Amino acid sequence: MIKDIKRTPETHPLTWRIRNDKRPLWIKEYRSQNGYIGAEKALKNFTPTEIVNIIKDSGLKGRGGAGFSTGLKWSLMSKDISINIRYLLCNADEMEPGTYKDRFLMETLPHLLIEGMLISAFALMTYRGYIFLRGEYIKAAKYLRRAILEAKNAGFLGKNIFGTGFNFELILHTGAGRYICGEETALISSLEGYRANPRFKPPFPASIGAWGKPTCINNVETLCNVPGILKNGVSWYTNISKSKDSGTKLMGFSGRVNNPGVWEVPFGITAREILEDYAGGLKPNLSFKAWQPGGAGTAFLIDHHLDLPMEFNTLNKAGSRLGTALSIAIDHEISIVSLVRNLEEFFSRESCGWCTPCREGLPWSVKILRSLEKHQGRLGDIEILEELCVFLGPGKTFCAHAPGAIAPLQSAIKYFRIEFEEGIFLKNTDNTF
């Protein structure tokens, strides 16, 4: 049975305002539902340092996949007061296959993102912000442009906001549609008008970022959590969760389930609860085979892992990642080899080509997987794939693109090796070619 969800401001800080018809909430309606209250409280009652400490104490972690402490990230911004130009960038380049949570927020609550960026900008002493939006999100771009104009006309963007003397300009920038722009330094390169290649770190963007100035990059969902924390306080936010990870998270299931979607749930809920109580389980006559917890770039897990709580450390220990927390269900009719081949084709195509392991290794894995899919594989192919998983692993490439890309392949071989072995073509019974 699909769970009946009752959203309240106390339990669903991100989604309680969402209209039943899913139409965007424009400024008049948003303000009638406590919109911009958190921003006014933050700018009038707290100093930037106090807001940074509040976010740090709240335990808010980045919702883009890495799960790094947001408050700690903010505290790393340069303290050099002689630098009067700083930037806040919103990473809205949501190109992870199977993930659509940021799109959901931007298309229904554009002012929540703007309010979150306003508070964050004040805390970081930044006077200009950019929303770097995936180019294919046409509807989100349309809604955000209108919401930014509404916020300007209401005095929530521009000069002397809330009479505090704080100025903040917000600009929407649509990208050309590249997965690698999700990596923060590649995003900066693209924003500046260059090819979207990652940059050396250090220096980190907090010191030298966009146009050589201190820059903070946060995900859409991360920024949308900020207004509620400032309005209701740290204790409220930490107590919503069922785990050590604070607050709520947009989570969901796609695949051949009865009710695919995304829901705001507390950290600590199990994947099985989301799959069965929210997504309604698999469609009739299908049996469960595997799942990816947080998008296409996370390692496969199997049935007994569904009972693990959806939280960062637990899924890391299980050999995967929480990632974006938009899970993908795989049923028994789906070939793992075909599925992985499809994923690796995507990641291979989206590689920026900057470093050799990623540029050469991912296409090589695709070539082998195509052979195995056609049952034309050769002895030793699986071992080559396993070696590629090592060569493209963490610390072996310039950025995290290849390690994320290879995670599904490595876990697929671990759990479903027999399907890979079935793809090897043997001419003779003595296993020779």
Q: How far apart are CA 183 and CA 281, in angstroms?
A: 33
Give the residue extent of every domain in the chain: 27-240, 248-331, 336-421
Q: How far apart are CA 126 and CA 252, in angstroms?
A: 34
What's the fold here for domain 248-331? Ubiquitin-like (UB roll) (3.10.20)
Tokens of 309: 């709580």
> Where does the pLDDT of residue 299 fall: very low under 50, low under 70, confident under 90, or very high at 90 and above?
very high
Q: Measuring CA to CA, how many Å separate 312 from each of 37, 54, 66, 67, 415?
A: 31, 21, 9, 7, 22
Please, what is the average pLDDT of the chain?
93
Report, at the CATH architecture level, how domain 336-421 is classified: Up-down Bundle (1.20)
Q: How far apart are CA 124 and CA 220, in angstroms?
A: 17
Q: How far apart are CA 277 and CA 237, in angstroms?
A: 24
pTM (2 d.p.): 0.93
Question: Same topology for domains 27-240 and 248-331, yes or no?
Answer: no
What residue type is assigned to position 103 of the chain? R
**Maximum distance among all Cα pairs of the chain, rounded to whole angstroms:** 84
**CB neighbours of residue 364 within 10 Å:** 16
C-alpha closest to that of 157 among 147, 165, 167: 167
Helices 101-108/110-124 angle, 10° precision: 100
Residue 283 is classified by DSSP as P
Q: Measuring CA to CA, how many Å separate 184 from each of 197, 311, 400?
A: 10, 23, 11
Q: Measuring CA to CA, how many Å separate 361 from each of 86, 358, 364, 366, 409?
A: 38, 5, 5, 9, 12
What residue type is assigned to position 106 of the chain? M
Q: What end-to-end distance do the CA atoms of the chain give, in Å?
A: 53
pLDDT by residue (tens digit) across 171-193? 999 988 788 888 999 999 999 99
Residue 280 φ/ψ region, left for φ over 0, alpha for ψ in the -120 to 50 degree band, beta for the rest? left
Q: For the domain 27-240, what is the CATH superfamily, name and number? A: NADH-ubiquinone oxidoreductase 51kDa subunit (3.40.50.11540)
| % of the chain residues with pLDDT over 90 | 84
Query: Residues 282-298: what's their mean pLDDT?
Result: 95
pLDDT by residue (tens digit) across 96-147? 888 999 999 999 999 999 999 999 999 999 999 999 999 899 999 999 999 9
